[in-house]
Amino acid sequence: MKKIVVVLFLALLLACEPALKVKLSGGNPPGFSLGGQDNTLMFFICCQEPLQPLDQENYIWEIRNNNAPNVTYPINVTYGLIPQGFQQISPKDNTAPPPLVEGRKYTYWAQGYYGGKGGCFEIRKGKAVTIGCDNRDVTLEAELTEGGNLPSFAIRGDDYLYELLIYYIDSTDKDDDDWRWEYMWQIRPENEYKKKLPVEIEYGMLPEGYKQLSPENGKQPMSLKSGIRYHYRVRGVNSLRVGCFELINGKTAKADCP
């Protein structure tokens, strides 16, 4: 089990004022002009593989403002080059980000104090070209089956499944103000998250074509205990379903999430 790395989940096209302005300039690597009436706190580009959600773990390049007093706007940013007053978060240790692949869609996002601005692009004939961001109206259902010794989930819909995570919130450390998400079981499909639905998944039973991230090294997940409220997150590429359950007299039962 491990402590979750809290990720920033951003919805595209926030309408806030004063607004950031982000302008893409062609080329490979592409350039971006960041300006407007707000200061850029962070900027990222995602993702390395198709169908990956916009999670921090999937950012191929992320930089953040160091609150340097000498940063002036607008500021010109080139993919892979750290501008003055910023630090690189991803990849770590200032490692160069991967080359951008011809024909693959990428998403960029700049976040300020009052809102954000983003868009999508792809590389065509050696130049970055603005394209539309697909926000598919997809569905995802995750029905918890009650009454069994172990929880099971009937996952349906027209989205692609990205992850199933089961965890509980540990607040036993009185000296620690941060509650921790303790992972019980975390799995994802192999093959670039392209597993279509439906699928039936029982706790601890890894379906064919899936990989286990937690516990690591293929270890069997810990037994669930009575008296603990467990959370589950079923994540598609474009959708999310969450819920909670408990073990009552050794049987799975739905529970309210706090």
State the amino acid at position 87 in one-letter form: Q
Q: Cα(181)–Cα(161) distance, rounded to whole angstroms?
A: 21
DSSP letter assigned to residue 156 = E
| Cis preceding-peptide flag for 53 (omega within 30 of 0) | no
Q: Cα(60)–Cα(28) distance, rounded to whole angstroms?
A: 15
pLDDT tens track, the chain, 258 positions: 443 333 333 333 333 444 788 999 888 999 999 988 778 889 999 998 877 778 788 899 999 998 766 677 788 999 999 998 999 999 999 999 999 999 999 999 998 877 788 999 999 999 999 998 866 567 889 999 999 999 999 999 888 888 999 999 886 654 555 578 899 999 998 876 566 789 999 999 999 889 999 999 989 999 999 999 999 999 887 788 999 999 999 999 999 987
Hey, what are 43's tokens?
A: 């900027």
Q: Cα(150)–Cα(234) distance, rounded to whole angstroms?
A: 17
Global pTM reads 0.61
Cα Rg of the chain (Å, integer): 21
C-alpha 69 chain-centroid distance: 31
Hey, what are 132's tokens?
A: 């539309």
Sheet architecture: strand order including 199-202:
140-145, 152-157, 199-202
Q: Coil, strand, or helix at residue 57? A: helix
